[in-house]
Amino acid sequence: MAIIGRGAFGEVRVCREKETGEIVAVKKMKKDEMFKKNQIMHVRAEKEILKLSKSRWIVGLRYSFQDDSYLYLVMDYSIGGDFMSLLMKKDILNEEESKFYTAELVLAVEAVHNLNCIHRDIKPDNLLIDRNGHIQLSDFGLSKQSVNTYYYNNHFLG
């Protein structure tokens, strides 16, 4: 099916599951490129974070698998595309839209922090729009999981 994104190790395609007929996004990553660039831990981190999350603000991972050459992540498909495409289409967001998406981004970042994780690559391309017009964070390849829960448990507030 159609390619909807390209990254450092591969591509993301829109596909249809054979058994259910549902539309999904499949991220196909070249293993040899991951090894060459010493990025195995980043890919593992992305998979683990997506697997841990049950948040509506983070794109859902359905399952993963691999063959000799590729690692595949099968994720929910966000029919609204990415936020960059929305910005290019609309050119300027009105005040109401700006407030809406800013509030949703805060909730998405909070969901990531609740997983003791820091995303480290938040940009319009990594914000997806679901069927209801809400954002979801994607692409956790540069994220870090924290072992220090001090910040995330809001102890700094008091």
* Residue 76 annotated to the active site: no
Strand 127-129 relative to strand 135-137, pairing: antiparallel
Q: How far apart are CA 90 and CA 84, in angstroms?
A: 10
Q: Which amino acid is at 154?
A: N
Strand 3-6 relative to strand 127-129, pairing: unpaired
Which of 121, 125, 130, 139 is catalytic? The answer is: 121
Structure tokens given for 60: 């859902």
Q: DSSP alpha helices (H): ranges in the chain?
A: 31-36, 40-52, 83-90, 95-114
List active site positions.
121
